[in-house]
């Protein structure tokens, strides 16, 4: 592998997994990514290959038929996949978040029922927290779950579901009446099974269709409309209501490491494209890579690629150590997303007019990078999280 974005201290198994994924990306993803992205076509063959490699069960424990690897391994795999095509890493991300939530917070029955099928890829998951009328104010959600005997009836509208159409399991946050003063203590996560596809996919549950997006194409991003959808009580995550906000925040925390990894992957690919093009394109009688201005730009890009990667790795390792990592994950997501945008733009500038052509891969990256600025929380949200945690850590004594 190249000199940039190396990770020290990996086991032989981790190195083998990453080498296999790197080869898969170079052979199966990069050659077809731009064509599929321009057509907004779901990468069915690529997903099939990932299922065969066991990537959908990468972090699921071996006792549930998974590989049982760490968050670090998963993040490095995501970085490799995003280097090929960011949309493909998105297909894994929400599935991974839901599997993580079930592993961490599910009942024994929920783990035994869902995790083996999620590991083999026959159950694929979507994560549903956002709604049309709210952004970062999760406590203001309006979707409601009302008790009806042993079941719940859920009504509301959800937004921005990655895998909303192709999934057959949705982890959904809804408001339940727990009688608590704090809004976040009146929320519950439900595990809702459905049929893949669009239209009515379960009685009362409708997936209207794919949302049109500037980038992040191929993967299906959807709304979800619920009208008295009946969900059995044993499909409350963890078996107890009122804990949904904590469940979702735990999922988002590891999701931020994932988004940071995606940003690292795109930035690395943009650097690869930029440094290759700079050696192929000539002006004033020599390759533009020999012009000092371009060398300065390449140096700045490389520093940003390396810094973002190392911060992402640290965030994953802190979580793997069983420690709270919202500070590290917030820092990593913020820095990696911002640097990704800057590295992609610099590579775009190096390409000159050709960067604006759909024939060149950098055009696709230029449209994909902005999604990472808002996914799993905007830069402003990350800075708020980091600022609050710093005040906790450095609180004056006395």
β-strand partners of 161: 222
**Looking at 35, 376, 380, 393, which residue is catalytic?**
376
| Dihedral angle of Cα 148, 150, 152, 153, to the nearest 10 degrees | -40
Q: How many CA atoms lie within 13 A of 302 on its CB side?
A: 12
Q: Contact 203/176 with Cβ under 8 angstroms?
A: no
Alpha helix (H) residue ranges in 238-291: 244-280
Half-sphere exposure of 160 (CA within 13 A, CB side): 15
Half-sphere exposure of 372 (CA within 13 A, CB side): 36
β-strand pairing of 199-202 with 282-283: unpaired
Instruction: State the Rg of the chain over Cα.
Output: 21
CB 188 within 8 A of CB 176: yes
Q: Residue 21 has which token pair?
A: 């994924």
Rounded Cα distance, 45 and 3, in Å? 30
- Tell me the C-alpha distance between 41 and 331, whole Å: 33
| Strand-pair category, 199-202 with 125-128 | unpaired
Whole-angstrom distance, CA of residue 305 vs CA of residue 310: 9
376 in active site: yes
Strands 169-175 and 125-128: parallel
Measured between alpha carbons, how far is 58 from 55 in angstroms, rounded to an integer?
A: 5
CA distance 18 to 298: 26
Q: For residues 344 and 370, is the Cβ–Cβ distance under 8 A?
A: no
Token pair for 34: 């731009």
Active site residues: 376
């Amino acid at each position: 592998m190249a000199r940039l974005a190396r990770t020290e201290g990996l086991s032989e198994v981790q190195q083998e997994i990453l080498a296999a994924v790197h080869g898969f990306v170079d052979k199966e993803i990069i050659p077809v990514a731009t064509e599929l992205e321009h057509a907004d076509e779901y990468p069915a063959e690529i997903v099939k290959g990932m299922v065969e490699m066991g990537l959908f069960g990468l972090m699921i424990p071996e006792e549930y038929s998974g590989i049982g690897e760490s968050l670090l391994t998963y993040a490095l795999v995501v970085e490799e996949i995003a280097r090929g095509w960011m949309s493909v890493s998105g297909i894994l991300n929400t599935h991974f978040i839901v599997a993580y939530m079930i592993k961490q917070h599910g009942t024994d029955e929920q783990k035994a029922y869902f995790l083996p099928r999620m590991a083999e890829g026959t159950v694929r998951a979507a994560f549903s927290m956002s709604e049309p009328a709210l952004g970062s104010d999760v406590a203001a959600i309006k979707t409601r779950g009302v008790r009806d005997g042993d079941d719940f009836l859920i009504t509301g509208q959800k937004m921005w579901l990655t895998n909303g159409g192709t999934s057959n399991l949705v982890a959904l946050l809804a408001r339940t009446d727990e009688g608590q003063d704090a809004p976040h203590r009146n929320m519950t996560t439900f595990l809702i099974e459905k049929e893949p596809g669009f239209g009515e996919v379960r009685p009362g549950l409708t997936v209207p269709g794919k949302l049109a997006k500037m980038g992040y194409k191929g993967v299906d991003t959807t709304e979800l409309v619920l009208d008295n959808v009946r969900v059995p009580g044993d499909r409350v995550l963890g078996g107890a209501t009122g804990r949904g906000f904590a469940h979702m925040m735990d999922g988002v925390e590891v999701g931020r490491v994932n988004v940071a990894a995606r940003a690292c992957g795109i930035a690395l690919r943009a650097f690869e494209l930029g440094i290759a093009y700079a050696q192929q394109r000539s002006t004033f009688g020599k390759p533009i890579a020999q012009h000092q201005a371009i060398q300065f730009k390449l140096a700045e890009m490389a520093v940003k690629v390396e810094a973002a990667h190392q911060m992402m790795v640290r965030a994953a390792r802190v979580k793997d150590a069983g420690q709270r990592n919202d500070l590290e994950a917030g820092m990593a997501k913020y820095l990696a997303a911002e640097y990704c945008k800057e590295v992609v733009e610099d590579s775009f500038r190096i390409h000159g007019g050709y960067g604006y052509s759909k024939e060149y891969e950098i055009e696709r990256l230029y449209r994909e990078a902005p999604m990472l600025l808002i996914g799993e929380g905007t830069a402003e949200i990350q800075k708020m999280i980091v600022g609050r945690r710093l005040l906790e850590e450095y609180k004056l004594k006395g």
